[in-house]
Amino acid sequence: MMSALVQWVSNGLVALGLLFITAAIIGLYRLPSVLTRVHATGAVPFGGVLVIIGATLATEDGWLLMRGLLVAAFLMLTIPSSAHAIAWLAEKRPELAHEKGQRHRHGPEDPERR
């Protein structure tokens, strides 16, 4: 009985994690500027952690679960750091940002400034 419950919980965690990752991918594809895209990818570490924990929980192996938690911790540390670096670069170099993001941030372009 306990094994069936563990399987249901692990399947639920994997499905929920994949839902978060799918939402982040859709946001990355559909949103207009770099800063909003970076914000949308904030769900990836949480979704990745859920998928890893769900998959390792299904094996019922303690060592594999510990390694999965180590990989999840690595994801939680590196993905937000890289997203911060991308957002910082987009803020410092607006010519690298998407056109809509530039218009939103800087307002309409003044033709006399050219």
Angle between helices 43-59 and 62-92 (to 10 degrees): 170
Q: Is residue 1 part of a domain?
A: yes
Q: What is the pLDDT of residue 84?
A: 85
Output Rg (C-alpha) for the chain, integer angstroms: 20
Question: Is residue 72 in a domain?
Answer: yes
Total domains, the chain: 1
Provide the mean pLDDT of the chain.
82
Q: Is residue 104 part of a domain?
A: no
In a domain, 84, yes or no: yes
Q: How far, in Å, CA of 6 to CA of 3, rounded?
A: 5
- Give me the pLDDT at residue 19, please: 95
Nearest-10 Cα torsion for 47, 77, 84, 82: -90
Domain that holds residue 18: 1-96
Residue 112 lies in a domain: no
Evaluate whether residue 114 is within a structural domain.
Answer: no
Of 17-31, 62-76, 83-97, give the lowest mean pLDDT range: 83-97
Residue 40 placed within a domain: yes
- pLDDT at res. 83: 84
Burial 7-35 (b: 16+ CB within 10 A, else e): eeebeebbeebeebbeebeebeeebebbb
